[in-house]
Chain A
Amino acid sequence: DAGVTQSPTHLIKTRGQQVTLRCSPKSGHDTVSWYQQALGQGPQFIFQYYEEEERQRGNFPDRFSGHQFPNYSSELNVNALLLGDSALYLCASSLTDLNTEAFFGQGTRLTVV
């Protein structure tokens, strides 16, 4: 049973560029959430997707957008990258309508230079 997979694992981008990160949820999971984790901090919620709709959003600017596909996989897009966007981006999948735990992928380390 494949767990949550993310790609790429590492990425270096230049300030002002755009980036797309990808996530495939754990088999059977239908909900995908994205988190940003800066060094030395806990993960911060970006948004959550269910049934191809953004269901909840954290305190992140509109430069952060996402998408969920019919197969439940998801993308996170960040436009106009800032140096402060450098972080570990984590995707978590879960099964909605149940009070179940979320499982994280290995993360994408984004460095903006």
Chain B
Amino acid sequence: QKEVEQNSGPLSVPEGAIASLNCTYSDRGSQSFFWYRQYSGKSPELIMFIYSNGDKEDGRFTAQLNKASQYVSLLIRDSQPSDSATYLCAVNRRVYKLSFGAGTTVTVRA
């Protein structure tokens, strides 16, 4: 079983729509959950992090965490062409290694 699994892509959404990204993890001791955005050929850029169960909103982005289900998601509202990228889910125990999923590629159609 992989440590972090993300829904397979690519995900294509029309401009202005909501993009929904899902991630599950296997380590029940995971404490921190991150979403990174990675443009082609670039390094990952942190867009959201969440530590507690529930929702966390930051602008057009909302992260949702359910530790009982070992599930974390990212919603992108009012999707823009600039949101077209690969989104990486990562989890860790406190300060140690980040375990990443393989990523979900999102394409926003104008």
Instruction: Using CB atoms and an 8 Å cutoff, list the residues of chain A in contact with chain B.
Output: 31, 33, 35, 40-45, 48, 55-56, 58, 88, 90, 92, 94, 96-99, 101-107
Contact = CB atoms under 8 A, between A and B. Distances in A.
Majority-rule SS of B interface residues: loop
A106 B96 contact: no
B25 interface: no
Contact of B95 (A41, A58, A98, A104): A98
Interface of B: 4, 31-32, 34, 36, 42-46, 49, 51, 88, 90, 94-103
B97 A48 contact: yes
B100 A43 contact: yes
B43 A105 contact: yes
Nearest to A98: B95
A30 to B, nearest CB: 10
Contact of A99 (B42, B51, B99): B51
Nearest to A46: B97
A104 B45 contact: yes
